[in-house]
């Protein structure tokens, strides 16, 4: 029996879900459906899959997200590895690296390729489709999963079904087609032979490597060189930065899938399996509203929200009370540093807001007020001319880097737990309700030696308070700057 390895592609920034999704903390890391993040739900989706030899998952992500993804995997007890891309090069190189990693030591598992930012509500139906896909992939086919369209959607690519191959609705792939205009999408819907492209794939590692080698040998060559120059760093798998930087950027669809057709002499047969498992790519606020449970008036309310005479409205509050009166078909999303108000039918245009923020160099496009670090997190509580106040939480046993600032001094007040402080040549403990001072230009380090989270208030003062005013001398997480 072939081993099935879940490959989770955790790229993308989810700009249409701003202000919850940010460039440095994208939607797959957020708990948009339930208490777990979309990434965690994706990894869990194959748990308990019957009749399958299930291997450990492999998450492919940008190295910038490595610590928060590793922590999210730890929280759900996942034993999977995290394959780090030095920079984004789209999904075809990501899958190529994953296939090289999965095929090491002579193995040739079946890869179940899943985007980390999709929702599949019906896990049992999903797993039933996966079991059927395992049989086809083990026979050498390139398998994808198609969603039966219920509207002339222009935001998805389509798959045209060809010859039926079983009584369960599986078909040869006649062709992949790009995102259509409205008239073409309606024609696809009327024809009844087209599926939405879900972005879910299944195939053996060797089959993908052969296919990408036939279609894009430049991608395979660059990825193979990057893999050979890489190394293992605990649960992290690193690749050669310079070699991967030379890799062309392309998607799985463009590089390979659009060349699939029944009877293709170069590539293996492509098969599409129907998937009716309440799938959504959660591409915008209206699609999130569609998959969430609603009240009798069609409203979705999360957080501290008060609705009066509202209909078909999505309200999400993260920090404050949000009260809405007499609105319909609206989206209201509140975070500590930004509020979005949009008509439900205009949520695709949220990306334009993010584009404007980027052009203006505003931090709200990239970061939340609460910023996660490998040692814990900090929240920018207040800021003004020459001062900044942060709430800092350091995980048990964690430590910040040994560092120095050229332009600021810091006052630390311990609220909970115990801090071990390095200041210059001295080393001492600071307990609850005690404080210490770090002068400008002084080497220092903050550690949590205890077994409970260390919570403290930091007051910075100085002429420049940017996060790039950090000179690191030692860091247990391998960071050099930022």
- Residue 235 confidence (pLDDT): 81
Find the mean pLDDT for residues 75-96: 94
Mean pLDDT of the chain: 93
- pLDDT band, very low/low/confident/very high, at 34 (cuts 50, 70, 90): confident
Question: What share of the chain in percent tops pLDDT 90?
Answer: 80
Query: pLDDT category, 13, cuts 50, 70, 90?
Result: confident
Residues 6+ apart with CB under 8 A from 128: none
Among 384, 394, 375, residue whose Cα is nearest residue 461: 384
pTM here is 0.89
pLDDT at 108: 93
Indicate the pLDDT class of residue 189, thresholds 50, 70 and 90.
very high
Tens-place pLDDT, residues 334-365: 999 999 999 999 999 999 999 999 999 999 99
**What is the spatial distance between Cα 63 and Cα 237, in angstroms, rounded to a whole number?**
10
**What is the per-residue pLDDT for 265?**
65
Q: Which domains does the chain have, with CATH numbers?
A: 3-280 (3.90.550.10), 285-359 (no CATH), 370-474 (2.60.120.10)
Contacts 24+ apart (CB under 8 A), 120-124: 120/45, 120/277, 120/278, 120/279, 121/33, 121/277, 121/278, 121/279, 121/291, 122/276, 122/277, 122/278, 123/45, 123/277
pLDDT of residue 468: 87
Mean pLDDT of 273-281: 93
pLDDT tens, position by position, 400-456: 999 999 999 999 999 999 999 999 999 999 999 999 999 999 999 999 999 999 999
Cα separation of 143 and 141, whole Å?
6
- Alpha helices, DSSP H only, in 6-112? 38-44, 66-75, 91-102
Question: Is residue 380 pLDDT above 80, yes or no?
Answer: yes
Assess whether pLDDT exceeds 70 at residue 482.
Answer: no
- When mean pLDDT is compared across 149-158, 264-273, 400-409, the lowest value belongs to 264-273
- Are residues 136 and 271 in contact, defined by beta-carbon separation less than 8 angstroms? yes
């Amino acid at each position: 029996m072939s081993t099935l390895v879940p490959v989770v592609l955790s790229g993308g920034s989810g700009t249409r879900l701003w202000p919850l999704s940010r460039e440095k903390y994208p939607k797959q890391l957020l708990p948009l459906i339930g208490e777990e993040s979309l990434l965690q739900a994706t990894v869990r989706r194959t748990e308990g899959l019957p009749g399958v030899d299930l291997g450990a998952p492999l998450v492919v992500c940008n190295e910038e997200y490595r610590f928060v993804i590793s922590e999210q995997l730890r929280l759900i007890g996942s034993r999977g590895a995290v394959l780090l891309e030095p920079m984004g090069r789209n999904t075809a190189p990501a899958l190529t690296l994953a296939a090289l990693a999965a095929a090491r030591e002579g193995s040739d598992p079946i890869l179940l390729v899943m985007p980390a930012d999709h929702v599949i509500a019906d896990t049992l139906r999903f797993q039933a489709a996966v079991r059927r896909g395992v049989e086809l992939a083990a026979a050498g086919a390139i398998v994808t999963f198609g969603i039966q369209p219920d509207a002339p959607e222009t935001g998805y690519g389509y798959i045209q079904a060809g010859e039926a191959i079983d009584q369960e609705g599986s078909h040869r792939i006649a062709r992949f087609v790009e995102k259509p205009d409205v008239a073409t999408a309606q024609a696809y819907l009327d024809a009844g032979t087209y599926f939405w492209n879900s972005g879910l794939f299944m195939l053996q590692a060797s089959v993908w490597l052969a296919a990408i080698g036939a279609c894009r040998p430049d991608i395979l060559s660059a990825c193979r060189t990057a893999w050979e120059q890489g190394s293992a760093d605990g649960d992290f798998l690193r690749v050669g930065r310079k070699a991967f930087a030379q890799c062309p950027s392309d998607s799985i669809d463009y590089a390979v899938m659009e060349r699939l057709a029944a009877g293709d002499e170069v590539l293996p047969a492509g098969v599409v399996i129907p998937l009716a498992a309440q799938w959504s790519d959660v591409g915008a606020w209206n699609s999130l509203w569609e998959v969430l449970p609603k009240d009798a008036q069609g409203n979705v309310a999360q957080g501290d929200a008060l609705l009066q005479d509202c209909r078909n409205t999505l309200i999400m509050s993260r920090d404050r009370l949000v009260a809405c009166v007499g609105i319909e078909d609206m989206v209201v999303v509140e975070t500590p540093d930004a509020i979005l108000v949009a008509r439900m039918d205009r949520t695709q245009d949220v990306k334009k807001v993010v584009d404007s923020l980027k052009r203006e160099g505003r931090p709200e496009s990239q970061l939340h007020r609460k910023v996660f670090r490998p040692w814990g997190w900090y929240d920018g509580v207040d800021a003004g001319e020459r001062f900044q106040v942060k709430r800092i939480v350091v995980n048990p046993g964690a430590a910040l880097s040994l560092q120095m600032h050229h332009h600021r001094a810091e006052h630390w007040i311990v609220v909970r737990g115990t801090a071990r402080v390095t200041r210059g040549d001295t080393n001492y403990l600071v307990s609850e309700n005690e404080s210490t001072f770090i002068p400008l230009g002084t080497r220092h380090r903050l550690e949590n030696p205890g077994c409970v989270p260390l919570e403290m208030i930091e007051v910075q003062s100085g002429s420049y308070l940017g996060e790039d005013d950090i000179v690191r001398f030692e860091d247990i997480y391998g960071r050099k700057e930022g």
